[in-house]
């Protein structure tokens, strides 16, 4: 073992978990104290609380409060070590993973590498639109919005395209971004940009389906539509994107939206390292797993990466699924370490919530549908409770007070970040080893 | 006037202020309500509270809390407008400044563009060391430190160079960085990096003069030296840097320090746009100004940019000087708007404070020298009071509690930022206009 840790007995089996998102982190934490060496690998040194990403993108929250260093979250797990590495390749036969600097063998492997934006092959979408999957994405969107406002002040002939913001995708993320952006831009213009008229700002939400929030009931989708329109968001239902350019968004209805900012929330696909063996895939590149969450013997796949049906429908790519799967994988691994068989995973659906904007939200909990202020408050409360760390919770509370009582945004600095590309030295290619 | 603002009467004279640091922002705020259109120009949309930069570099504070959007700080100044532009050229004869996208005329001009790191012509210093002058610099240092720790875990054969941190320059910034870095690395290693031994960490402070903190008395410099040594910092006095490479720092004593991280706090020089007319310069490119702070008729220069003597010595490049000069320039401009002559500037020296580390600091106030815990506490209190914004103050307080009571750092995400290079579109070259 190249990295002796006092807490790990010699000759312990090694469990490698790739990805420190909800599922991977939960699995690692649930394996604290087990009779194995656990190695959690991620390309970033931090875990991101992704349900709050849209609030970073719209200046409500600072990036630092929704991300926590992985090592801090593992302080109570002495048998778990963290490796900040990018995993490039996996060999199931040799039972090794290959990162930028080393080859690591495993006895058990848990794949939790998540998903990335999918641009559906639409011309210009990848080059000219802003996805919202990572911390860097969220900060890039926030900076672009500030940039548009600042540039609109300096270049009055470009105000139309600069002050039009398009959002593609009418699922939860698209609705949340549209609502929060409307609140932000409309209130901040009056305070900070006296020379820009708030009526010059257009926010257009483009949805291919015939209603918003298809993961909720039609009545809640229609409610969200009505509330967003009240906030000044233009909504195009049953509309697909043909093409994206730096200054236009072409729709299949023939309409062209003159905008320099298109935010892309319309689809995701699996984001994973190369696997040397053939693996079967489902739609979006998801890997079908057994009911025990095993992709094959000794290898688990969970979270957005895994395809598993529950009650005849595929499980959605949301945090509660990943968290419960993280716990289940840890249980199954503990069983296997004791020579027992893994057990099937059963998802317990606690319900869903989405925030719409203007102090309203929608919810569906235990078959009970509700909407309005209560759903909004419940959304904030649930996410606040799950956010790790007292500092983060405190600052989030302050930020929400500023945003929702003071109608001000506390995190609107304009800059961009680079996460994983930035390393202390050139990467070593180990394929030659 | 291309940007009519309701609050500005037509045909008002225009005052252009370049730079939203301490001096420029103060001048703009002090000109609120005067009978002139005031335009404050900066390449970033935010003002940085630079005395706390070293705390961002060492993970104590998040970047968002020491920077505030300029527009928020100008909400009570309706006759002041902000332009987020990079000024490339100034023509005193035509009375215009040229930014990336436009040419702006002025009746009065205030130059407050500050300073940047100066590498003294030392080979490799610019390419291979980390300056600490901007928000991006501070985050780059923090990320490099985290990167070194993470890489040291993955690559045991590089621990020597990765865990050695060199700081060049024994002035206030160098001492503050060394102390805070020692506190951080030594405490965080025990908590988060069980496989790295804290004795493997070396922090070396290189100072060309024969004592630290030359801006204070010798006894306080010696005290800082003693305290830093107690924190485990190695100090090389009377030592100059010969050369910097990616993995070594060569000193003129013949010693070579094997390090991948050299932080550069050894010197600054003026950072300013091109001026089409000849201007006289002093050391570090500073512009000598009249006692009224005028560089020439209608043009003021203040802050780090300006050279002015007080009691036979040049005024130092510190925040109090810039702030007082900002007030004085505003007063002089108000006088000139009323047809009166500008008055000479007189610096009121309130004293100086520096934080050393390990809950100690040094101070010199009204000729009274003190050191230790009281100076440390006073430093925190003074900077806390001057920091703008209730949100920032609240979060700083929380962060300090975490750092100084909890011995933990709340802002240690690894990423890099880009500030001003990132714009919505390609820049237009106006020289051809």
Provide the shortest C-alpha distance from residue B121 to chain A (in Å).
24
Rounded to whole angstroms, how far apart are CA atoms B415 and A129? 22
- Check B419 against A419: CB less than 8 A apart: no
Per this entry, what is the length of chain B?
Answer: 433
pLDDT band at B423 (very low <50, low <70, confident <90, very high): low
A294 included as an active-site residue:
no
> Environment class of residue A293 by beta-carbon count within 10 Å: exposed (0-12), middle (13-18) or buried (19+)?
buried
Are B16 and B32 in contact by the 8 Å Cβ rule? The answer is: no
- Check B193 against A71: CB less than 8 A apart: yes
Tens digit of pLDDT for each residue in B99-151?
Answer: 988 899 999 999 999 999 999 999 999 999 999 999 999 999 999 999 999 99
Rounded to whole angstroms, how far apart are CA atoms B48 and B54? 12
**Exposure string over B401-432, b if 16+ CB within 10 A, otherwise e:** ebbeeeebbbbbbbbbbebbeebbeeeeeeee
- Is residue A197 within 8 angstroms of chain B, CB to CB? no
CA A252 and chain centroid, separation: 28
The backbone torsions φ and ψ at residue B42, rounded to the nearest 5 degrees and listed phi first, read -150, 155
Determine the average pLDDT of the residues in B327-348. Answer: 97
State whether the Cα torsion A126-A131-A133-A135 is positive or negative: positive
Selection from B66, B48, B47 nearest residue B399 by Cα: B66
Interface of B with A in 308-337 (CB under 8 A): none
Instruction: Tell whether the model's pLDDT for residue B430 goes beyond 50.
Output: no
Strands, E, within A51-168: which ranges?
67-69, 80-84, 87-91, 96-99, 103-105, 108-111, 115-117, 129-131, 164-168
Query: A37, A85, A176, A183: which one is catalytic?
Result: A176
Instruction: Tell whether the model's pLDDT for residue A427 goes beyond 60.
Output: no
- Is residue B143 within 8 angstroms of chain A, CB to CB? yes
- Is residue A1 within 8 angstroms of chain B, CB to CB? no
Higher pLDDT, A420 or B392: B392
Interface of A with B in 92-111 (CB under 8 A): 99, 101-102
Element (H, E) at B193: none
Q: What is the pLDDT of residue B277?
A: 96
Rounded to whole angstroms, how far apart are CA atoms A24 and A47? 10
**Exposure string over A203-213, b if 16+ CB within 10 A, otherwise e:** bbbbbbeebbb
Residue B366 has what DSSP assignment? Answer: T
pLDDT band at B5 (very low <50, low <70, confident <90, very high): low
- Is residue A413 within 8 angstroms of chain B, CB to CB? yes
- Check B413 against A46: CB less than 8 A apart: yes
Report chain A residues whose CB lies below 8 A from the CB of B148. Answer: 424
SS3 content of chain B, % helix, strand, coil (to 5): 35, 25, 40
Instruction: Tell whether the model's pLDDT for residue B316 goes beyond 70.
Output: yes
Q: What is the pLDDT of residue B417?
A: 81
Q: What is the pLDDT of residue B92?
A: 98
Report chain B residues whose CB lies below 8 A from the CB of A415. Answer: 44, 135-136, 417-419, 422
Q: What is the pLDDT of residue B366?
A: 87
Determine the average pLDDT of the residues in B410-430. Answer: 67
SS3 content of chain A, % helix, strand, coil (to 5): 35, 25, 40
DSSP A145-179: HHHHHHHHHH-GGGHHHHTEEEEE--SHHHHHHHH
Determine the average pLDDT of the residues in B49-66. Answer: 97
Q: What is the pLDDT of residue B433?
A: 34
Q: Best mutation site among B415, B422, B427 for testing chain A: the one with the most A CBs within 10 Å?
A: B415
Report chain A residues whose CB lies below 8 A from the CB of B410. Answer: 64, 391
Are B277 and B180 in contact by the 8 Å Cβ rule? The answer is: no
Q: What is the pLDDT of residue A417?
A: 82
Torsion of CA B144, B150, B154, B159, to 10 degrees: 60
Q: What is the ipTM of this complex?
A: 0.93
Instruction: Tell whether the model's pLDDT for residue A433 goes beyond 60.
Output: no
> Environment class of residue A102 by beta-carbon count within 10 Å: exposed (0-12), middle (13-18) or buried (19+)?
middle
pLDDT band at B431 (very low <50, low <70, confident <90, very high): very low
Instruction: Tell whether the model's pLDDT for residue B224 goes beyond 80.
Output: yes
- Is residue B155 within 8 angstroms of chain A, CB to CB? yes
Q: What is the pLDDT of residue A431?
A: 40
- Check A412 against B69: CB less than 8 A apart: yes
Tens digit of pLDDT for each residue in B164-217?
Answer: 999 999 999 999 999 999 999 888 888 899 889 989 999 999 999 999 999 999
The backbone torsions φ and ψ at residue A99, rounded to the nearest 5 degrees and listed phi first, read -105, -175
Lowest average pLDDT, out of A133-147, A161-175, B32-46, B404-418, goes to: B404-418
User: Can you tell me whether residue A70 is helix, strand or coil?
Assistant: helix
Are B90 and B109 in contact by the 8 Å Cβ rule? The answer is: yes
- Is residue A76 within 8 angstroms of chain B, CB to CB? no
Q: Which of B62, B143, B154 sits opposite A422 (nearest CB)?
A: B143
Q: In chain B, what are the domains?
A: 14-43+85-117+269-337 (3.50.50.60), 125-266+351-405 (3.50.50.100)
State whether the Cα torsion B227-B397-B408-B260 is positive or negative: negative
Q: What is the pLDDT of residue A420?
A: 60
Instruction: Tell whether the model's pLDDT for residue A58 goes beyond 50.
Output: yes
Q: CA A225 → CA A184, A198, A264, A365, distances in Å?
A: 18, 21, 18, 20
Q: Best mutation site among A148, A152, A414 for testing chain B: the one with the most B CBs within 10 Å?
A: A414
- Check A417 against B415: CB less than 8 A apart: yes
Say which residue the tokens 């007319």 belong to.
B277
**Cβ pairs bridging A and B (under 8 Å):** 180
Interface of B with A in 27-66 (CB under 8 A): 44-46, 62-65
- Is residue B76 within 8 angstroms of chain A, CB to CB? no
Q: Average per-residue pLDDT in chain B?
A: 93
- Is residue B428 within 8 angstroms of chain A, CB to CB? no
pLDDT band at A430 (very low <50, low <70, confident <90, very high): very low
| Cβ count within 10 A of residue B170 | 29
Report chain B residues whose CB lies below 8 A from the CB of A138. Answer: none
Q: Which of A78, A101, A191 sits opposite B75 (nearest CB)?
A: A191
Tell me the CA end-to-end span of chain B in Å, nearest whole number: 19
Tens digit of pLDDT for each residue in A83-125?
Answer: 999 999 999 999 999 998 889 999 999 999 999 999 999 999 9
User: Can you tell me whether residue B61 is helix, strand or coil?
Assistant: coil
Selection from A428, A95, A14 nearest residue A4 by Cα: A14
Lowest average pLDDT, out of B14-18, B139-143, B153-157, goes to: B153-157
Are A324 and A338 in contact by the 8 Å Cβ rule? The answer is: no
User: Can you tell me whether residue B334 is helix, strand or coil?
Assistant: helix
Say which residue the tokens 């928000």 belong to.
B135
- Check A425 against B5: CB less than 8 A apart: no
Chain B's closest residue to A7, CA to CA, is: B194
Residue B357 in tokens: 């580390």
Report chain B residues whose CB lies below 8 A from the CB of A155. Answer: 101
Provide the shortest C-alpha distance from residue A405 to chain B (in Å).
13
């Amino acid at each position: 073992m190249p990295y002796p840790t006092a807490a790990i007995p010699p000759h312990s089996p090694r469990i490698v978990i790739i990805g420190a998102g909800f599922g991977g982190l939960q699995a690692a934490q649930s394996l604290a104290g087990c009779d194995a060496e656990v190695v959690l690998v991620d390309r970033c040194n931090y875990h991101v609380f992704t349900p709050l990403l849209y609030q970073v993108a719209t200046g409500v929250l600072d990036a630092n409060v929704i991300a926590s260093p992985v090592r801090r979250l593992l302080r109570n797990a002495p048998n778990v070590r963290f490796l900040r590495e990018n995993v490039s390749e996996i060999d199931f036969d040799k039972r090794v993973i290959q990162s930028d600097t080393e080859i690591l063998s495993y006895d058990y492997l848990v794949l939790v590498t998540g998903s990335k934006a999918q641009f559906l092959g639409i011309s210009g979408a990848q080059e000219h639109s802003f996805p919202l999957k990572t911390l860097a994405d969220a900060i890039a969107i926030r900076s672009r919005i500030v940039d548009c406002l600042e540039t609109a002040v300096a270049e009055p002939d470009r105000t139309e395209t600069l002050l039009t913001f398009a959002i593609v995708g009418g699922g939860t993320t698209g609705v949340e971004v549209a609502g929060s952006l409307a609140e932000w831009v409309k209130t901040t213009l009056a305070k900070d940009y006296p020379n820009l008229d708030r009526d010059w700002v257009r926010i257009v939400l483009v949805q291919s389906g015939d209603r918003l929030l298809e993961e909720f009931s039609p009545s809640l989708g229609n409610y969200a539509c009505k509330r967003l329109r009240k906030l000044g968001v233009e909504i195009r239902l049953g509309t697909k994107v043909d093409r994206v350019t730096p200054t236009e968004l072409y729709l299949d209805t023939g309409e062209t939206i003159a905008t320099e900012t298109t935010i892309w929330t319309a689809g995701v696909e699996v984001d994973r390292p190369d696997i040397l063996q053939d693996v079967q895939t489902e739609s979006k590149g998801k890997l079908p797993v057994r009911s025990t969450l095993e992709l094959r013997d000794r290898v688990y796949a969970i979270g957005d990466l895994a395809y598993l049906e529950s009650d005849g429908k595929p499980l959605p790519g949301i945090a509660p699924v990943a968290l419960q799967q993280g716990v289940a994988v840890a249980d199954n691994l503990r069983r296997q370490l004791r020579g027992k068989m893994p057990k099937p995973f059963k998802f317990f659906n606690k319900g869903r919530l989405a925030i719409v904007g203007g102090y309203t939200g929608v919810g569906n909990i235990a078959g009970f549908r509700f909407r309005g202020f209560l759903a909004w408050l419940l959304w904030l409360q649930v996410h606040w409770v799950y956010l790790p760390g007292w500092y983060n919770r405190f600052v989030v509370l302050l930020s929400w007070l500023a945003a929702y009582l003071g109608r001000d945004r506390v995190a609107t600095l304009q800059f961009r970040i680079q996460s994983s590309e930035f390393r202390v030295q050139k990467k070593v290619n180990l394929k030659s080893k």
